Amino acid sequence: MYGHLNVMSGLVLGVSLCLTPPAWAGLEKVWDNDLKRYLTEDELNHAEIFMTEEAAVKIILGKSERVRKEVIQLSQDKKDLVEQRIGWKFPEQAFEVYIGETGEKIDGYAMVHNTVGKHKHMTYMVGVDAKGACSDVELLVFREARGSEVGRKRFNVQYEGKTVLDPIRINKDIINITGATMSVRSISAGVKRVLALIDEFYLKPAGIGSDTLAAKKDKGLLPSIFGNYLAEPAALPASPTERSAGKIGNCIACHAAPNFTDFKLHNTGTTQREYDLIHGTGQFAGLSILNLATRNSNYNQFLPATETHPAALEPFRAIPTAGLPILTDLGVWNVFANPDMPEPQTKIRATLCDDQQPCPLPDATLLDRAIARFKTPGLRDLGHSAPFMHNGQFDTLEQIVDFYREVSDLQRTSGLRNGDRELGGIALIAQDVAPLTAFLKALNEDYQ
């Protein structure tokens, strides 16, 4: 079947090189936080061969009459552009690209990538079709002791159809594998880079890149019925053109399927709205909120009641009340760096630091980031969950959608204190309220 392939030599991976440990491997000591120990020499030298590079090319571009290979060289400007698009920096200045052709038509592209998982790099090939969508991901070599599940088709099939316009991130549009988070992040980052490189070097010059209408892909059944409400804007904040057109709910930024929640913490403006309705517009923005040292120096006066401090007044975990401007609910601000609540601190710190490891910011700075943040709820069964928001402010889903239209404008004009930047990506008009509400109601479970 593959006899017609014309692939340049040198495709087969150097298996002996992959399996032969370097001279210094026996001296290497790598601590594994999950295992709570140093990795053994066998674990450090582990290399699982899934397939050769040649075999992967035959799978991805096997229907092409011929396959040629060329090298793309990145100028510094082009490298900077790609890094900006994918959100991370990389050292490589050149990449090899396989191009499958039939007649005068390009069938697709394939690139081998190496990205670091938890401790060591993995090698895999990413296929891209002629329109810029990921067509396949094949794991070639996996060198970690754990996490090789990323090579299974039932996992990496979720990359198929993704384009450079998609987030391709855990809890956005990629389902994680427990115990293999770093491997999933690594391969997701590599897929995103391949899509960006193909877009910049091949599709845009041909007039079919992500900056043209031809790059817009069909988002499937739900968007065909309910518009683009799950979609993200081209950039943050949403452009004036996007805001005028509407139909961009940016819901997927925090409510990706299948759980419809990212399990993180966001400030959607709910606390500010509740406070300002009682004390006047703009008052929450001027509310004096304690710094870390002052807050923790007098637990009973400022923090929530616990078994250790049952008499604490918890003024920042309270319902706003006329005549008592100190009372409000600041959400996870009450929990972060709270000496009575040690267990959730690691996860909260990671979220407040945007998952940077190790976090470069001090707790005093992160406490400011925690103001009025609450955990993202799931969207399933909303029709049975009224009233809505953590404080029950809204009785209907229509009110919720109108609220997000309001706070998205506030976020874009810097009128929302510590507001989540993703709010600025919402672009909804009045005509979007009814269909978006219908979509949310479609997520109800049938208990009858």
Q: Quick: pLDDT tens for 402-444.
A: 999 999 999 999 999 999 999 999 999 999 999 888 888 878 7
DSSP E strands in 247-299: the ranges are: 265-266
Phi then psi dihedrals of residue 114, to 5 deg = -125, 120
The answer to whether residues 398 and 437 touch, using CB atoms and an 8 Å cutoff, is: yes
Q: Which residues of the chain have pLDDT under 50?
A: 1-27, 213-226, 448
pLDDT value of residue 53: 94
Joined tokens for residue 30: 């790598």
Q: What is the DSSP letter of 20?
A: S
pTM of the predicted model as reported, rounded to 2 decimal places: 0.55
pLDDT value of residue 15: 32
12-46 pLDDT tens trace: 333 333 333 443 334 456 555 555 666 576 655 66
- The residues that bridge with 373 in the sheet, in sequence order, are 331
- The residues that bridge with 100 in the sheet, in sequence order, are 67, 108
Joined tokens for residue 447: 């208990």
pLDDT value of residue 320: 95
